[in-house]
Structure 1
């Protein structure tokens, strides 16, 4: 009996031969509409300036309208080229993006390294039914993969494919928007800064048309009769009002429809945004802790905001447009952020922390004195030119001394740390106070640095290194015993690095010394 012929294998293409997909053509129209809206806003300002300079309405319409048309056409061309040259594909192991224009580039991510998926769509994209997809990986580098834009149904299907059961699992609600929180939006140092920037923007626009002298002359003619003691507070009040309006508008846009949910596997599901809607999932296995921000203004009214420390999500610095935001809870009552933190961490936020030695407080008061002296030097110049202005340096010294002393005391009181069974807590700052609560298993290692002044005072700065957030979390001005306690929180994996006890006052030696990153003894199986 002859051997039977082998049965041919089914004709199934390998994963690497999956077809390449293109972006959605509607992204061209969406980009053009966004740019046209921005250009029209700028065009109105330019048109007003040209009319004030005596340019005829016809020429104004020609220049402004023509500029908007030409730039919009240029953007449409650029988007068309990007649409024709960008493709992507997804198989069982990887997602890839390929760009072929004058040269060729390819970005590839392993699916098991993708930790966070974000869908976003601005107002025009939502109306057109498309969305952008941003992927963050487990390397701590933030957003690396960006698809702009896909059909909304395709984007949702891609999100479900990448996240698996987490994308469709039921979630418990941790927090939703309460518009009473709006009262916390203007309580920020950025409020005044935005107002001052608005004044600067007005002068910049007039400078475009060489009309700053005319503006100054109009201001002098209109407000010259008012005494300076009334005019300066009025200008400050105007800046605060403008800044408050801007911060309220940003708060509403950023947190409209806010809802924070939690899956059974501890993953977090965040939805928010008005003009630009955002839908983000943070992988529960990659959460490394939380940061409670309590800047001075918010702290005085009992408010705070909460950020996540997670692998693949960096602090909002550098590339602001593409970076994935770590924000979890907006400016709101502190109890709201603390409640969410307690649920996510599985333990309540500690209120009482270990304080730092008196030398840390003395260091802050010394710094306050130096700042007072530096700020007084320019104030002495008017008194030297005109002795009758002696009160200016005196008033400057009194105000700066009181202000810096209060901030120094508040900064010293804010310093603290605590090591619990599961977490290590680091708190610092006054104007921008923050409390970092990190999972001990998520700390890769510890660094210890000392400046010459710290060495003389027996102090040091310990730095926790982690794959989440900014990657480095500082706790300044700790004593030797405190440094060993904090640095020993990494657990038994570091026991092979223990050395003899340090000499008194010497923070650089001792059992708490740690390498800057995970050593060979770190055998933890998961990504940190």
Structure 2
């Protein structure tokens, strides 16, 4: 087999400080196991089991350091690892979608970082765990999409830091919006349950101790539950606040580099730190996500839409900001987008009343079906007769939810961006660059055809790969396609070719597209929702 032209590049190994880290883990595991044998007459098996797992993990990590090699050439990044089962992973440099780094507490103390190199596919992505801090920083800069493709020698001096423009820093006003939730009680319940089982081998029963402290037997169950919630919620909020600050300490969102090689960089963390990069050349839009309760408080989460990475793929995340006020998020979104556009502030077209009627029908239909099923059981005396009307009371909830679902619908165009909105438990407003649209799927159920409505699906190589404007009128859907992507629309709207209505109510639009969307790997879209 002919060796590649750059085969002469040397293979490197992970930092030798990994050995120091594993020696510390071995010492801790041995101390824990020893404590599990001497603190009581009989062995404390949870401590011994934990020590065993820690010891095995440290030995496996030492073997990983001994067998892992990697190299960086002008064309690719390669990693070899394994002893009994050998692995050789290769990713071309022009297919690298992310280069992110993180460091746990012990790694930080030893000056180590883990670097994750993502290609958009888990099979060819890999992590270098761990490199010394300076080498990891140099590697991040060298491999960031858009950088020069000359490999950096191991002994090369650190390059000058790229210029940075700060977009956002952690603000004290963000903390309350991210710690007060209805689930705060579980932030303290989980650790307490774990502590309870950890202390049981030592004869400490936290449940019994808490019951005696609260005088559990003197009150009814309802009042005991209320008392526990009154105590647990403040503790849960405090625990959530601590976790949020640990994760987002010194949070900073910056734009790094000089045009055209710029990227959004997020840094955060106190004990465990993390750095995530999103190259501007791969950004295709931005999205707001507003769960129902957040919506009433005018709060939103912000995500970027980037090619080659799904919204929650690999080790990276598309979440670019913590939960903040909607007005502030709009201001920051204009600075996050490289062109400074404000597509998420544009007015959207309201969908036809038929979409409201359809959702009201669902709101009544499902309680009726459930009630009818219970009525059949009641007629056979399987359940009491008074049970079957109970599902009808759900209409008091489902009808308002149906109205909220209808009011969430919307679509429109804002300059170079296509905007779609929808969702009830989590309303999502997506602004996608029109140049990122690579195809459309139009769907009609039998009831939508009677009402003159259809759902327009947008296929793209970025983000979730597929976004929908549901239950628009036929005129609205065709106008959206014509204005957003006139070249794609010309063939089937002007000439009525090659669109055709399938038996299941799907309009299939076949178009030929070039791979001009930054590594999408798509040569043809045949109307399906799955894009390779």
TM-score bracket, shorter-length normalisation: 0.7 to 0.9
Question: Quick one: distance in 2 between partners of 1:186 and 1:81?
Answer: 41
**2:333 aligned with 1:341:** yes
Of Structure 1 and Structure 2, the greater helix share is in 1
> Where do 1:371-410 residues align within 5 Å?
371-373=366-368, 398=393, 400-410=394-404
Aligned length: 490
Distance 2:447 2:30 in 1: 53
Map of 1:51 onto structure 2: none
Note closer, same or farther for the CA distance 1:434–1:60 as it changes in structure 2 (3 Å cut).
farther
Q: Tell me which of 15, 18, 23 is aligned to 2:9.
A: 18
Larger RCO: Structure 1 or Structure 2 (Cα < 8 Å, ≥ 6 residues apart)? 1
Residue 330 of structure 2 contacts residue 345 of structure 2 at CA under 8 Å; is this kept in 1?
no
Aligned to 2:281: 285
Q: Identify which range, 15-24 or 165-174, moves more after superposition.
A: 165-174
**8 Å Cα contact 2:307-2:517 kept in structure 1:** no
Flag the 1:482–1:369 CA change in 2: closer, same or farther, 3 A: same
- In the alignment, is residue 527 of structure 1 matched against residue 519 of structure 2? yes
Per the alignment, residue 411 of structure 1 pairs with 405
Q: Structure 1 regions of 5+ residues with no counterpart? A: 1-12, 48-54
Task: Report the counterpart of residue 156 of structure 1 in structure 2.
Answer: 137
One of 173, 194, 199 as aligned partner of 1:180: 173
Q: 1:77 to 1:515 in 2, by over 3 A?
A: farther
When residues 67 and 103 of structure 1 are mapped into structure 2, their CA distance, relative to the original with a 3 A threshold, is closer
Change (3 A) 1:468 1:90: same
Which sits farther off after the overlay, 435-444 or 354-363?
Answer: 354-363
CA contact (8 A) 1:121 1:131 kept: yes
**Equivalent pair of 2:99/2:118 in contact (CA under 8 Å):** yes
| 1:183-211 deviation digits (Å, cap 9, x = unpaired) | 111354654665776788689889999x9
> Among 297, 300, 305, which residue is 1:304 paired with?
300
Q: Structure 2 length as normaliser, TM-score?
A: 0.77
Secondary structure at the counterpart of residue 58 of structure 1:
coil
Aligned to 1:4: none
Whole-angstrom CA distance in 1 between matches of 2:198 and 2:411: 49
Q: Does 1:75 align with 2:67?
A: no
* 2: CA distance, partners of 1:171 / 1:497: 45
Task: Identify the residue that residue 438 of structure 1 maps to in structure 2.
Answer: 432
After superposition, the C-alpha distances for 1:28-67 in whole angstroms (9 at most, x for unaligned) are: 55467689989999999xx9xxxxxxx9951466534433
Which consecutive unaligned segments of at least 5 residues does structure 2 have? 149-158, 521-532
Task: State the secondary structure of the residue aligned to 1:17.
Answer: coil
1:244 aligns with 2:242: no
Cα distance in 2 for residues equivalent to 1:83 and 1:507 = 58
**8 Å contact from structure 1 (residues 484, 513) kept in 2:** no
Instruction: Decide whether the 8 Å contact of 2:44 with 2:201 is kept in 1.
Output: no
Deviation, 1:85, is: 1.5
Where 1:288 maps in the other structure, the secondary structure is strand
Q: In structure 2, which of residues 111, 115, 120 is the aligned counterpart of residue 129 of structure 1?
A: 111
Taking the TM superposition and a 5 Å limit, the aligned residue runs for 1:499-514 are 499=493
Residues 501, 141 of structure 1: alpha-carbon distance in 2 compared, 3 angstrom cutoff: farther
**What residue in structure 1 maps to residue 268 of structure 2?**
272
Residue 364 of structure 2 corresponds to 369
Report the alpha carbon displacement of residue 159 of structure 1 after superposing the two structures with TM: 1.7
| Residue equivalent to 2:128 | 147
Give a deviation string over 1:415-465, Cα, whole Å, max 9, x none: 111123300111111221111111111122222334455445443332222
1:498 partner SS: helix
Could you tell me which residue of structure 2 aligns to residue 485 of structure 1? 479
Indicate the RMSD between aligned Cα atoms, in angstroms: 4.5
Which secondary structure state, in structure 2, belongs to the residue aligned with residue 185 of structure 1? helix
Alpha-carbon contact 1:311-1:468 (below 8 Å) kept? yes
1:212-231 deviations in whole A, cap 9, x for unaligned? 9x969969x95354345534
